[in-house]
Amino acid sequence: MELNGSQIVIECLKEQGVDTVFGYPGGTILNIYDEMYKHSDEITHILVSHEQGAAHAADGYARSTGKVGVCMATSGPGATNLVTGIATAYMDSVPLVAITANVAKSGLGKDSFQEIDIVGATMPITKHNFIVKDIENLADTIRKAFRIAKTGRPGPVLVDITKDVTANKYNYEKQEPVKVERISDTIKKEDIDIVVEMIKSSKKPFILVGGGAVISDAAKEVRELAELVDAPVCDSLMGKGAMDGNSERYTGMIGMHGTKTSNYGVTMCDLLLVLGARFSDRVIGKAKAFANNAKIVHIDVDPSEINKNIKADASIIGDMKEVLIRLNSALTKQNHADWMQEIKEMKEKYPLALNKDVLTGPAVIDSLYNITNGDAIITTDVGQHQMWAAQFYKFKEPRQLITSGGLGTMGYGVGACIGAKMGNKNRVCVNVAGDGCFRMNMNEIATATRYNIPIIQIVINNHVLGMVRQWQTLFYGKRYSNTVLDDSVDFVKIAEGMGAKAYRATTVEEFENALKDAIALNIPCVIDCQIDQDEKVFPMVPANTAISEVFSEEDLAEKGYDC
Protein backbone atom coordinates (compact mmCIF):
# COMPACT_ATOMS: atom_id res chain seq x y z
CA MET A 1 0.00 0.00 0.00
CA GLU A 2 1.09 3.55 -0.67
CA LEU A 3 1.91 5.63 2.42
CA ASN A 4 3.68 8.89 3.05
CA GLY A 5 7.01 8.93 4.85
CA SER A 6 5.53 9.83 8.23
CA GLN A 7 3.11 6.94 8.03
CA ILE A 8 5.98 4.62 7.12
CA VAL A 9 7.95 5.79 10.18
CA ILE A 10 5.04 4.98 12.50
CA GLU A 11 4.34 1.63 10.83
CA CYS A 12 8.00 0.67 11.17
CA LEU A 13 7.95 1.57 14.86
CA LYS A 14 4.89 -0.63 15.29
CA GLU A 15 6.67 -3.44 13.42
CA GLN A 16 9.49 -3.25 15.96
CA GLY A 17 7.10 -3.46 18.91
CA VAL A 18 7.73 0.10 20.07
CA ASP A 19 5.17 1.10 22.69
CA THR A 20 6.76 4.30 24.04
CA VAL A 21 8.57 7.22 22.41
CA PHE A 22 10.16 10.17 24.21
CA GLY A 23 10.51 13.40 22.30
CA TYR A 24 9.86 17.04 21.50
CA PRO A 25 8.25 18.34 18.28
CA GLY A 26 9.38 21.11 15.96
CA GLY A 27 9.02 22.36 12.41
CA THR A 28 10.85 19.71 10.39
CA ILE A 29 9.40 16.77 12.30
CA LEU A 30 5.80 18.05 12.35
CA ASN A 31 4.62 15.56 9.74
CA ILE A 32 5.77 12.64 11.88
CA TYR A 33 4.16 14.14 14.97
CA ASP A 34 0.92 14.64 13.09
CA GLU A 35 0.92 10.93 12.24
CA MET A 36 1.89 10.05 15.81
CA TYR A 37 -1.27 11.84 16.97
CA LYS A 38 -3.37 9.42 14.91
CA HIS A 39 -1.71 6.41 16.56
CA SER A 40 -1.70 7.60 20.16
CA ASP A 41 -3.69 4.54 21.18
CA GLU A 42 -0.87 2.28 19.96
CA ILE A 43 2.29 4.26 20.79
CA THR A 44 2.56 6.40 23.91
CA HIS A 45 4.47 9.61 23.36
CA ILE A 46 6.02 11.36 26.37
CA LEU A 47 6.59 15.07 25.78
CA VAL A 48 9.71 15.88 27.79
CA SER A 49 10.78 19.30 29.02
CA HIS A 50 14.08 19.26 27.09
CA GLU A 51 15.34 17.01 24.29
CA GLN A 52 18.24 15.82 26.45
CA GLY A 53 15.60 14.42 28.80
CA ALA A 54 14.12 12.48 25.86
CA ALA A 55 17.44 10.77 25.11
CA HIS A 56 18.00 9.95 28.79
CA ALA A 57 14.44 8.63 29.14
CA ALA A 58 14.86 6.38 26.10
CA ASP A 59 18.16 5.22 27.59
CA GLY A 60 16.58 4.44 30.98
CA TYR A 61 13.74 2.60 29.26
CA ALA A 62 16.24 0.51 27.30
CA ARG A 63 18.54 -0.33 30.21
CA SER A 64 15.70 -1.34 32.49
CA THR A 65 13.77 -3.44 29.95
CA GLY A 66 16.40 -4.75 27.53
CA LYS A 67 14.35 -3.35 24.63
CA VAL A 68 15.44 -0.64 22.20
CA GLY A 69 14.64 2.85 23.51
CA VAL A 70 13.32 5.45 21.07
CA CYS A 71 13.58 9.23 21.15
CA MET A 72 12.66 11.93 18.62
CA ALA A 73 13.62 15.55 18.00
CA THR A 74 13.38 18.17 15.34
CA SER A 75 16.31 19.60 13.37
CA GLY A 76 18.97 22.04 14.53
CA PRO A 77 18.98 22.63 18.30
CA GLY A 78 16.42 19.88 18.82
CA ALA A 79 18.79 17.35 17.31
CA THR A 80 21.90 18.73 19.01
CA ASN A 81 20.15 18.64 22.38
CA LEU A 82 20.04 14.85 21.98
CA VAL A 83 23.81 14.59 21.62
CA THR A 84 24.75 14.23 25.31
CA GLY A 85 22.11 11.53 25.76
CA ILE A 86 23.28 9.67 22.67
CA ALA A 87 26.90 9.84 23.88
CA THR A 88 25.81 8.55 27.29
CA ALA A 89 24.15 5.54 25.64
CA TYR A 90 27.16 4.96 23.41
CA MET A 91 29.64 4.79 26.27
CA ASP A 92 27.51 2.24 28.13
CA SER A 93 26.41 0.14 25.11
CA VAL A 94 22.71 0.97 25.34
CA PRO A 95 20.38 0.03 22.43
CA LEU A 96 18.72 3.27 21.39
CA VAL A 97 17.27 4.66 18.14
CA ALA A 98 17.15 8.44 17.81
CA ILE A 99 14.94 9.76 15.01
CA THR A 100 15.49 13.33 13.91
CA ALA A 101 14.12 15.31 10.98
CA ASN A 102 16.12 17.74 8.90
CA VAL A 103 15.34 20.44 6.40
CA ALA A 104 14.17 19.37 2.96
CA LYS A 105 16.73 17.76 0.65
CA SER A 106 16.78 20.90 -1.49
CA GLY A 107 17.78 22.98 1.56
CA LEU A 108 20.68 20.82 2.73
CA GLY A 109 24.06 22.53 2.73
CA LYS A 110 22.58 26.01 2.39
CA ASP A 111 22.56 27.06 6.04
CA SER A 112 18.79 26.76 6.06
CA PHE A 113 16.86 27.68 9.21
CA GLN A 114 17.60 25.10 11.91
CA GLU A 115 19.76 23.02 9.57
CA ILE A 116 22.48 20.96 11.21
CA ASP A 117 24.59 18.04 10.03
CA ILE A 118 23.49 15.82 12.89
CA VAL A 119 24.86 12.73 11.15
CA GLY A 120 28.32 14.31 11.08
CA ALA A 121 27.95 15.56 14.64
CA THR A 122 27.00 12.14 16.04
CA MET A 123 29.27 9.94 13.95
CA PRO A 124 31.83 9.42 16.78
CA ILE A 125 29.13 8.64 19.39
CA THR A 126 26.81 6.27 17.54
CA LYS A 127 27.17 2.64 16.58
CA HIS A 128 25.91 3.74 13.16
CA ASN A 129 23.89 6.61 11.75
CA PHE A 130 21.96 7.45 8.60
CA ILE A 131 20.45 10.35 6.71
CA VAL A 132 17.43 9.40 4.59
CA LYS A 133 17.07 11.68 1.55
CA ASP A 134 14.94 9.35 -0.60
CA ILE A 135 11.70 7.79 0.54
CA GLU A 136 12.40 4.43 -1.08
CA ASN A 137 15.16 3.93 1.52
CA LEU A 138 13.13 4.95 4.56
CA ALA A 139 11.56 1.70 5.79
CA ASP A 140 14.65 -0.42 5.27
CA THR A 141 16.81 2.18 7.02
CA ILE A 142 14.60 2.24 10.13
CA ARG A 143 14.53 -1.55 10.25
CA LYS A 144 18.29 -1.66 9.87
CA ALA A 145 18.70 0.91 12.65
CA PHE A 146 16.83 -1.27 15.14
CA ARG A 147 18.75 -4.35 14.07
CA ILE A 148 22.12 -2.63 14.46
CA ALA A 149 21.16 -1.10 17.82
CA LYS A 150 20.52 -4.49 19.43
CA THR A 151 22.94 -6.80 17.58
CA GLY A 152 26.12 -7.95 19.31
CA ARG A 153 27.40 -5.15 21.50
CA PRO A 154 24.38 -2.81 21.56
CA GLY A 155 24.55 0.91 20.99
CA PRO A 156 22.70 4.01 19.78
CA VAL A 157 21.78 4.52 16.13
CA LEU A 158 20.58 7.83 14.69
CA VAL A 159 18.22 8.15 11.70
CA ASP A 160 17.94 11.65 10.25
CA ILE A 161 15.08 12.14 7.76
CA THR A 162 14.69 15.14 5.47
CA LYS A 163 11.32 16.85 5.74
CA ASP A 164 10.33 16.17 2.14
CA VAL A 165 10.78 12.43 2.75
CA THR A 166 8.27 12.62 5.63
CA ALA A 167 5.68 13.94 3.12
CA ASN A 168 6.50 11.99 -0.03
CA LYS A 169 4.69 8.73 -0.81
CA TYR A 170 6.01 5.23 -1.47
CA ASN A 171 4.81 1.65 -1.37
CA TYR A 172 5.00 0.10 2.09
CA GLU A 173 4.79 -3.59 2.92
CA LYS A 174 4.78 -4.76 6.50
CA GLN A 175 7.68 -6.98 7.54
CA GLU A 176 8.29 -9.05 10.65
CA PRO A 177 11.44 -7.91 12.49
CA VAL A 178 14.49 -10.03 11.78
CA LYS A 179 15.27 -12.07 14.89
CA VAL A 180 18.55 -10.93 16.40
CA GLU A 181 20.67 -13.98 17.12
CA ARG A 182 23.24 -14.08 19.88
CA ILE A 183 26.79 -14.02 18.54
CA SER A 184 28.11 -17.55 19.01
CA ASP A 185 30.03 -18.42 15.82
CA THR A 186 33.12 -16.74 17.31
CA ILE A 187 33.14 -19.03 20.35
CA LYS A 188 35.89 -21.58 19.80
CA LYS A 189 36.08 -24.88 21.67
CA GLU A 190 39.85 -24.58 21.99
CA ASP A 191 39.42 -21.22 23.75
CA ILE A 192 36.93 -22.79 26.17
CA ASP A 193 39.33 -25.68 26.82
CA ILE A 194 42.21 -23.31 27.58
CA VAL A 195 40.13 -21.39 30.11
CA VAL A 196 38.88 -24.61 31.73
CA GLU A 197 42.48 -25.73 32.31
CA MET A 198 43.42 -22.32 33.71
CA ILE A 199 40.52 -22.56 36.16
CA LYS A 200 41.52 -26.06 37.22
CA SER A 201 45.09 -24.90 37.86
CA SER A 202 44.05 -21.87 39.90
CA LYS A 203 44.32 -21.70 43.69
CA LYS A 204 42.93 -18.17 44.13
CA PRO A 205 40.44 -17.37 41.36
CA PHE A 206 38.41 -14.16 41.31
CA ILE A 207 35.53 -13.14 39.02
CA LEU A 208 35.01 -9.56 37.83
CA VAL A 209 31.57 -8.94 36.33
CA GLY A 210 31.01 -6.06 33.91
CA GLY A 211 28.09 -4.58 32.04
CA GLY A 212 28.27 -7.19 29.31
CA ALA A 213 26.86 -9.77 31.69
CA VAL A 214 23.86 -7.53 32.36
CA ILE A 215 23.32 -6.71 28.68
CA SER A 216 23.32 -10.39 27.69
CA ASP A 217 20.98 -11.39 30.55
CA ALA A 218 23.61 -13.81 31.82
CA ALA A 219 23.02 -13.43 35.57
CA LYS A 220 21.99 -17.08 35.98
CA GLU A 221 25.13 -18.26 34.20
CA VAL A 222 27.38 -15.86 36.15
CA ARG A 223 26.10 -17.24 39.43
CA GLU A 224 26.52 -20.83 38.21
CA LEU A 225 30.10 -20.06 37.19
CA ALA A 226 30.88 -18.63 40.63
CA GLU A 227 29.63 -21.82 42.27
CA LEU A 228 31.52 -24.10 39.88
CA VAL A 229 34.79 -22.18 40.20
CA ASP A 230 34.21 -21.65 43.93
CA ALA A 231 35.34 -18.05 43.59
CA PRO A 232 34.54 -14.64 45.07
CA VAL A 233 32.85 -12.12 42.76
CA CYS A 234 33.21 -8.35 42.40
CA ASP A 235 31.62 -6.07 39.83
CA SER A 236 32.06 -2.82 37.97
CA LEU A 237 29.43 -0.09 38.23
CA MET A 238 27.83 -1.38 35.01
CA GLY A 239 27.84 -4.99 36.22
CA LYS A 240 25.62 -4.41 39.26
CA GLY A 241 22.97 -7.07 39.84
CA ALA A 242 24.47 -9.80 37.67
CA MET A 243 25.68 -11.22 40.98
CA ASP A 244 23.26 -10.98 43.89
CA GLY A 245 24.51 -8.23 46.20
CA ASN A 246 23.53 -10.37 49.20
CA SER A 247 25.57 -13.40 48.14
CA GLU A 248 28.35 -14.59 50.45
CA ARG A 249 30.58 -14.70 47.39
CA TYR A 250 29.98 -11.06 46.54
CA THR A 251 32.73 -8.68 47.67
CA GLY A 252 31.33 -5.40 46.31
CA MET A 253 32.42 -3.01 43.60
CA ILE A 254 36.01 -2.81 42.39
CA GLY A 255 38.02 0.29 41.54
CA MET A 256 38.30 3.91 42.59
CA HIS A 257 35.46 3.65 45.12
CA GLY A 258 35.40 -0.11 45.37
CA THR A 259 35.68 -2.09 48.58
CA LYS A 260 39.01 -2.96 50.10
CA THR A 261 38.09 -6.64 49.80
CA SER A 262 37.52 -6.40 46.04
CA ASN A 263 40.62 -4.28 45.41
CA TYR A 264 42.90 -6.36 47.63
CA GLY A 265 41.36 -9.62 46.46
CA VAL A 266 41.91 -8.91 42.77
CA THR A 267 45.46 -7.82 43.58
CA MET A 268 46.11 -11.09 45.42
CA CYS A 269 44.32 -13.56 43.12
CA ASP A 270 46.15 -15.88 40.70
CA LEU A 271 43.37 -16.00 38.10
CA LEU A 272 41.01 -13.18 37.18
CA LEU A 273 37.96 -14.07 35.07
CA VAL A 274 36.64 -10.86 33.52
CA LEU A 275 33.09 -11.11 32.20
CA GLY A 276 32.06 -8.34 29.81
CA ALA A 277 34.08 -5.48 31.31
CA ARG A 278 36.22 -3.02 29.36
CA PHE A 279 38.88 -2.35 32.00
CA SER A 280 37.92 1.28 32.53
CA ASP A 281 40.50 3.49 34.21
CA ARG A 282 38.09 3.87 37.15
CA VAL A 283 38.20 0.07 37.57
CA ILE A 284 41.86 -0.76 37.06
CA GLY A 285 43.64 2.35 38.41
CA LYS A 286 47.28 2.20 37.31
CA ALA A 287 47.22 -0.29 34.44
CA LYS A 288 50.76 -1.59 34.97
CA ALA A 289 49.94 -2.48 38.58
CA PHE A 290 46.57 -4.15 37.93
CA ALA A 291 46.22 -7.82 38.98
CA ASN A 292 49.94 -8.44 38.53
CA ASN A 293 49.79 -11.76 40.38
CA ALA A 294 47.06 -13.15 38.15
CA LYS A 295 46.56 -14.65 34.77
CA ILE A 296 43.70 -12.77 33.12
CA VAL A 297 40.87 -14.30 31.11
CA HIS A 298 38.81 -11.75 29.20
CA ILE A 299 35.39 -12.79 27.86
CA ASP A 300 33.62 -10.22 25.68
CA VAL A 301 31.36 -9.94 22.65
CA ASP A 302 33.50 -7.15 21.19
CA PRO A 303 36.93 -8.35 19.97
CA SER A 304 38.24 -4.77 19.94
CA GLU A 305 38.13 -4.75 23.75
CA ILE A 306 40.60 -7.64 24.05
CA ASN A 307 44.08 -6.35 24.96
CA LYS A 308 42.91 -2.73 24.55
CA ASN A 309 43.60 -1.57 28.11
CA ILE A 310 44.87 -4.72 29.84
CA LYS A 311 46.68 -7.63 28.20
CA ALA A 312 44.78 -10.90 28.56
CA ASP A 313 46.42 -14.31 28.91
CA ALA A 314 43.37 -15.94 27.32
CA SER A 315 40.13 -14.73 25.81
CA ILE A 316 36.80 -15.94 24.48
CA ILE A 317 34.83 -13.83 22.00
CA GLY A 318 31.05 -14.11 21.91
CA ASP A 319 27.77 -13.36 23.60
CA MET A 320 28.31 -13.65 27.33
CA LYS A 321 25.33 -15.90 27.99
CA GLU A 322 26.32 -18.29 25.19
CA VAL A 323 29.96 -18.36 26.30
CA LEU A 324 29.09 -19.08 29.92
CA ILE A 325 26.61 -21.82 29.02
CA ARG A 326 29.42 -23.63 27.20
CA LEU A 327 32.09 -22.84 29.78
CA ASN A 328 29.92 -23.98 32.68
CA SER A 329 29.03 -27.24 30.95
CA ALA A 330 32.74 -27.95 30.49
CA LEU A 331 33.63 -27.30 34.14
CA THR A 332 33.60 -29.61 37.12
CA LYS A 333 33.07 -28.28 40.64
CA GLN A 334 36.24 -26.75 42.07
CA ASN A 335 37.13 -26.33 45.74
CA HIS A 336 38.88 -23.24 47.06
CA ALA A 337 37.78 -23.32 50.69
CA ASP A 338 40.95 -21.69 52.06
CA TRP A 339 40.74 -18.83 49.54
CA MET A 340 37.04 -18.27 50.22
CA GLN A 341 37.76 -18.21 53.98
CA GLU A 342 40.50 -15.63 53.40
CA ILE A 343 38.04 -13.47 51.45
CA LYS A 344 35.38 -13.90 54.14
CA GLU A 345 37.79 -12.70 56.83
CA MET A 346 38.76 -9.75 54.66
CA LYS A 347 35.09 -8.76 54.25
CA GLU A 348 34.65 -8.86 58.02
CA LYS A 349 37.80 -6.81 58.55
CA TYR A 350 36.95 -4.11 55.97
CA PRO A 351 33.22 -3.34 56.04
CA LEU A 352 31.83 -0.18 54.49
CA ALA A 353 31.39 2.58 57.08
CA LEU A 354 27.77 3.36 57.89
CA ASN A 355 26.50 5.78 60.55
CA LYS A 356 22.73 5.72 61.00
CA ASP A 357 22.70 8.27 63.83
CA VAL A 358 22.73 11.24 61.44
CA LEU A 359 21.41 11.79 57.92
CA THR A 360 24.26 10.97 55.55
CA GLY A 361 24.41 9.73 51.96
CA PRO A 362 25.07 6.12 53.01
CA ALA A 363 22.28 6.33 55.62
CA VAL A 364 19.82 7.50 52.94
CA ILE A 365 20.73 4.61 50.62
CA ASP A 366 20.66 2.06 53.43
CA SER A 367 17.16 3.18 54.43
CA LEU A 368 16.09 3.21 50.78
CA TYR A 369 17.28 -0.39 50.44
CA ASN A 370 15.53 -1.56 53.59
CA ILE A 371 12.21 0.18 52.91
CA THR A 372 12.04 -1.07 49.30
CA ASN A 373 13.29 -4.53 50.33
CA GLY A 374 15.94 -4.22 47.65
CA ASP A 375 13.34 -4.54 44.90
CA ALA A 376 13.30 -0.99 43.47
CA ILE A 377 14.82 0.19 40.23
CA ILE A 378 17.39 2.83 41.17
CA THR A 379 18.53 5.47 38.72
CA THR A 380 21.23 7.94 39.65
CA ASP A 381 22.99 11.01 38.43
CA VAL A 382 26.79 11.22 38.78
CA GLY A 383 28.94 11.95 41.79
CA GLN A 384 29.10 11.00 45.46
CA HIS A 385 25.46 9.94 45.61
CA GLN A 386 26.07 7.60 42.65
CA MET A 387 28.90 5.86 44.48
CA TRP A 388 26.88 5.61 47.70
CA ALA A 389 24.03 4.03 45.73
CA ALA A 390 26.45 1.51 44.21
CA GLN A 391 28.00 0.74 47.58
CA PHE A 392 24.99 0.52 49.89
CA TYR A 393 22.04 -0.68 47.78
CA LYS A 394 22.37 -4.46 47.47
CA PHE A 395 21.17 -5.08 43.92
CA LYS A 396 19.59 -8.51 43.68
CA GLU A 397 19.15 -8.72 39.93
CA PRO A 398 20.33 -7.11 36.69
CA ARG A 399 18.79 -3.90 35.31
CA GLN A 400 18.07 -2.55 38.79
CA LEU A 401 20.81 0.09 38.71
CA ILE A 402 20.42 2.57 35.85
CA THR A 403 23.34 4.98 35.83
CA SER A 404 25.76 6.78 33.52
CA GLY A 405 29.06 4.96 33.87
CA GLY A 406 31.31 5.73 30.92
CA LEU A 407 30.36 9.33 30.20
CA GLY A 408 29.47 10.31 33.78
CA THR A 409 26.57 12.52 32.74
CA MET A 410 25.26 14.95 35.34
CA GLY A 411 21.53 15.52 34.80
CA TYR A 412 20.98 11.97 33.55
CA GLY A 413 18.85 10.58 36.33
CA VAL A 414 15.39 12.19 36.21
CA GLY A 415 14.87 11.43 32.54
CA ALA A 416 16.26 7.92 32.98
CA CYS A 417 13.92 7.32 35.93
CA ILE A 418 10.91 8.41 33.84
CA GLY A 419 12.01 6.00 31.11
CA ALA A 420 12.53 3.16 33.58
CA LYS A 421 9.10 3.72 35.12
CA MET A 422 7.41 3.74 31.69
CA GLY A 423 9.00 0.37 31.00
CA ASN A 424 8.34 -1.07 34.48
CA LYS A 425 5.02 0.35 35.66
CA ASN A 426 4.68 -2.09 38.55
CA ARG A 427 8.10 -1.37 40.04
CA VAL A 428 9.07 1.38 42.46
CA CYS A 429 11.46 3.65 40.53
CA VAL A 430 13.68 6.05 42.46
CA ASN A 431 16.21 8.58 41.18
CA VAL A 432 19.05 9.52 43.49
CA ALA A 433 20.77 12.80 42.62
CA GLY A 434 23.05 15.35 44.18
CA ASP A 435 21.84 18.93 44.29
CA GLY A 436 24.33 19.91 41.58
CA CYS A 437 23.04 17.22 39.21
CA PHE A 438 19.38 17.85 40.03
CA ARG A 439 19.72 21.50 39.02
CA MET A 440 20.72 20.45 35.51
CA ASN A 441 17.56 18.61 34.44
CA MET A 442 15.09 19.06 37.29
CA ASN A 443 12.65 20.47 34.72
CA GLU A 444 11.83 16.83 33.90
CA ILE A 445 9.91 16.65 37.18
CA ALA A 446 7.32 18.67 35.25
CA THR A 447 7.25 15.84 32.70
CA ALA A 448 6.56 13.33 35.47
CA THR A 449 3.72 15.42 36.89
CA ARG A 450 2.23 16.13 33.44
CA TYR A 451 1.67 12.41 32.90
CA ASN A 452 1.47 11.44 36.59
CA ILE A 453 4.47 9.15 36.25
CA PRO A 454 5.05 8.20 39.90
CA ILE A 455 8.80 8.45 40.23
CA ILE A 456 10.49 9.30 43.52
CA GLN A 457 13.30 11.85 43.36
CA ILE A 458 15.79 11.84 46.24
CA VAL A 459 18.11 14.84 46.35
CA ILE A 460 21.26 14.29 48.41
CA ASN A 461 21.64 17.98 49.16
CA ASN A 462 24.99 19.05 50.59
CA HIS A 463 24.95 22.51 48.95
CA VAL A 464 28.21 21.76 47.12
CA LEU A 465 29.46 19.83 44.12
CA GLY A 466 30.30 16.98 46.44
CA MET A 467 32.68 14.77 44.47
CA VAL A 468 34.65 17.69 43.09
CA ARG A 469 34.84 19.19 46.58
CA GLN A 470 36.10 15.84 47.89
CA TRP A 471 38.98 15.97 45.42
CA GLN A 472 39.63 19.60 46.30
CA THR A 473 39.82 18.63 49.97
CA LEU A 474 42.11 15.65 49.48
CA PHE A 475 44.31 16.78 46.60
CA TYR A 476 43.91 20.54 46.05
CA GLY A 477 44.66 22.02 49.46
CA LYS A 478 40.98 22.72 50.23
CA ARG A 479 40.79 25.40 47.56
CA TYR A 480 37.05 25.20 46.84
CA SER A 481 37.00 26.85 43.45
CA ASN A 482 33.41 27.15 42.17
CA THR A 483 32.04 24.13 44.00
CA VAL A 484 29.92 25.81 46.69
CA LEU A 485 26.17 25.93 45.90
CA ASP A 486 25.07 27.57 49.13
CA ASP A 487 22.38 29.84 47.69
CA SER A 488 18.64 30.45 48.06
CA VAL A 489 17.42 27.61 45.83
CA ASP A 490 14.61 25.72 47.55
CA PHE A 491 14.01 22.33 45.94
CA VAL A 492 10.82 21.76 47.91
CA LYS A 493 9.22 24.92 46.54
CA ILE A 494 10.50 24.20 43.04
CA ALA A 495 9.11 20.66 43.12
CA GLU A 496 5.76 21.88 44.42
CA GLY A 497 5.74 24.55 41.71
CA MET A 498 6.07 21.78 39.11
CA GLY A 499 3.18 19.85 40.65
CA ALA A 500 5.05 17.24 42.68
CA LYS A 501 4.64 16.31 46.32
CA ALA A 502 7.75 17.48 48.17
CA TYR A 503 9.44 16.79 51.51
CA ARG A 504 12.50 18.05 53.33
CA ALA A 505 14.41 15.65 55.56
CA THR A 506 17.13 16.50 58.06
CA THR A 507 17.12 13.22 60.04
CA VAL A 508 17.02 9.54 59.13
CA GLU A 509 13.57 9.27 60.67
CA GLU A 510 12.23 12.18 58.61
CA PHE A 511 13.64 10.65 55.44
CA GLU A 512 12.20 7.21 56.14
CA ASN A 513 8.75 8.65 56.87
CA ALA A 514 8.87 10.72 53.68
CA LEU A 515 9.94 7.73 51.57
CA LYS A 516 7.20 5.49 52.95
CA ASP A 517 4.66 8.22 52.28
CA ALA A 518 5.93 8.75 48.73
CA ILE A 519 5.70 5.04 47.94
CA ALA A 520 2.18 4.85 49.34
CA LEU A 521 0.96 7.96 47.46
CA ASN A 522 2.22 6.61 44.10
CA ILE A 523 2.56 10.10 42.58
CA PRO A 524 5.64 12.11 41.55
CA CYS A 525 7.50 13.01 44.76
CA VAL A 526 10.72 14.84 45.62
CA ILE A 527 12.61 14.35 48.91
CA ASP A 528 15.23 16.99 49.70
CA CYS A 529 17.76 15.37 52.07
CA GLN A 530 20.00 17.84 53.86
CA ILE A 531 23.43 16.37 54.60
CA ASP A 532 26.79 17.84 55.66
CA GLN A 533 28.85 19.46 52.91
CA ASP A 534 31.97 17.51 53.85
CA GLU A 535 30.53 13.98 53.66
CA LYS A 536 32.89 11.88 51.56
CA VAL A 537 32.88 8.63 49.63
CA PHE A 538 35.23 6.01 51.02
CA PRO A 539 37.08 3.80 50.30
CA MET A 540 38.97 5.68 47.60
CA VAL A 541 41.86 5.08 45.23
CA PRO A 542 43.73 8.18 43.99
CA ALA A 543 43.81 8.57 40.20
CA ASN A 544 46.60 6.70 38.37
CA THR A 545 47.60 4.61 41.36
CA ALA A 546 47.24 0.88 41.96
CA ILE A 547 43.88 -0.25 43.31
CA SER A 548 45.80 -1.86 46.15
CA GLU A 549 46.50 1.71 47.33
CA VAL A 550 42.83 2.00 48.38
CA PHE A 551 42.34 3.95 51.61
CA SER A 552 39.54 4.69 54.04
CA GLU A 553 38.76 7.69 56.23
CA GLU A 554 40.24 5.79 59.16
CA ASP A 555 43.49 5.31 57.24
CA LEU A 556 43.74 9.06 56.70
CA ALA A 557 42.97 9.75 60.36
CA GLU A 558 45.78 7.39 61.44
CA LYS A 559 48.16 9.44 59.32
CA GLY A 560 46.94 12.62 61.01
CA TYR A 561 45.15 13.95 57.94
CA ASP A 562 42.10 16.10 58.67
CA CYS A 563 39.51 15.66 55.91
For the segment 349-383, what is each residue's pLDDT rounded down to a tens digit?
999 999 999 999 999 999 999 999 999 999 999 99
Q: What is the pTM of this model?
A: 0.97
136-172 confidence digits (pLDDT tens) = 999 999 999 999 999 999 999 999 999 999 999 999 9
558 domain residue, yes or no: no
Q: Which of 494, 488, 433 is nearest to 466 (CA)?
A: 433
- Under a CB-based contact definition with an 8 Å cutoff, are residues 70 and 96 in contact? yes
Backbone angles phi, psi at 189, to 5 degrees: -60, -40
| 340 and 390 part of one domain | no
Backbone angles phi, psi at 460, to 5 degrees: -85, 95
502 domain residue, yes or no: yes
The mean predicted confidence, pLDDT, of the chain is 97
- Under a CB-based contact definition with an 8 Å cutoff, are residues 71 and 39 in contact? no
- Residue type for 116, please? I
Active-site residue among 36, 198, 256, 467?
Answer: 467
| 375 and 522 part of one domain | yes
354 domain residue, yes or no: no
Active-site residue among 15, 67, 114, 344?
Answer: 114
Active-site residue among 91, 127, 150, 163?
Answer: 163
Print burial letters for 26-55: b (CB count within 10 Å at least 16), e (below 16).
bebbbbbbebbeeeeeeeebbebbbbbbbb
| 41 and 111 part of one domain | yes
Average pLDDT over residues 87-97: 98
> Does the active-site annotation cover 438?
no
| 242 and 197 part of one domain | yes
121-141 confidence digits (pLDDT tens) = 999 999 999 999 999 999 999
Q: Is the pLDDT of residue 178 over 90?
A: no
Sort 235 into a burial class: Cβ within 10 Å, 0-12 / 13-18 / 19+: buried
- Under a CB-based contact definition with an 8 Å cutoff, are residues 207 and 252 in contact? no
Q: Which of 530, 536, 528 is nearest to 556 (CA)?
A: 536
Q: Which of 349, 381, 409 is the last residue of a domain?
A: 349
Domain that holds residue 59: 2-171
Residue 144: CATH number of its domain: 3.40.50.970
Residue 282: CATH number of its domain: 3.40.50.1220
What percentage of residues in the chain have a pLDDT greater than 90? 97
Backbone angles phi, psi at 221, to 5 degrees: -70, -35
| 84 and 137 part of one domain | yes
263-313 confidence digits (pLDDT tens) = 999 999 999 999 999 999 999 999 999 999 999 999 999 999 999 999 999
| 376 and 331 part of one domain | no
Q: How much is the pLDDT for 563?
A: 67
Q: Is the pLDDT of residue 418 over 70?
A: yes
| 154 and 205 part of one domain | no
Q: How much is the pLDDT for 295?
A: 98
Q: Lowest-confidence range among 47-61, 188-202, 393-407, 545-559?
A: 545-559
The CA-to-CA distance between both ends of the chain, in Å, stands at 70
> Does the active-site annotation cover 341?
no
Q: How much is the pLDDT for 560?
A: 75
> Does the active-site annotation cover 286?
no
Q: Which of 525, 526, 517 is nearest to 490 (CA)?
A: 526
Q: Is the pLDDT of residue 36 over 90?
A: yes
> Does the active-site annotation cover 175?
no
Evaluate the omega torsion of the peptide bond into residue 539 and state whether it is cis, within 30 degrees of 0: yes
| 396 and 465 part of one domain | yes
| 167 and 44 part of one domain | yes
- Under a CB-based contact definition with an 8 Å cutoff, are residues 433 and 457 in contact? yes
Cα–Cα distance for residue pair 254/460, rounded to 1 Å: 23
Backbone angles phi, psi at 546, to 5 degrees: -65, 145
| 195 and 275 part of one domain | yes
Active-site residue among 35, 51, 115, 221?
Answer: 51
77 domain residue, yes or no: yes
422-441 confidence digits (pLDDT tens) = 999 999 999 999 999 999 99
Backbone angles phi, psi at 414, to 5 degrees: -65, -50
437-455 confidence digits (pLDDT tens) = 999 999 999 999 999 999 9
Q: How much is the pLDDT for 343?
A: 98
Q: Cα separations (Å) of 424 from 19, 51, 66, 212, 446? A: 12, 22, 11, 21, 20
| 155 and 206 part of one domain | no
441 domain residue, yes or no: yes
> Does the active-site annotation cover 510?
no
355 domain residue, yes or no: no
Total number of domains in the chain: 3
311 domain residue, yes or no: yes
Beta-bridge partner residues of 273: 207, 297
- Under a CB-based contact definition with an 8 Å cutoff, are residues 125 and 156 in contact? yes
Give the pLDDT band of residue 556 (cuts 50, 70, 90).
Answer: confident
550 domain residue, yes or no: no
Q: Which of 65, 316, 283 is nearest to 190 (CA)?
A: 316
| 230 and 344 part of one domain | yes
Q: Which of 120, 144, 171 is the last residue of a domain?
A: 171
Q: How much is the pLDDT for 450?
A: 98
Average pLDDT over residues 40-58: 98
> Across 440-500, where does the E strand assignment appear?
456-461
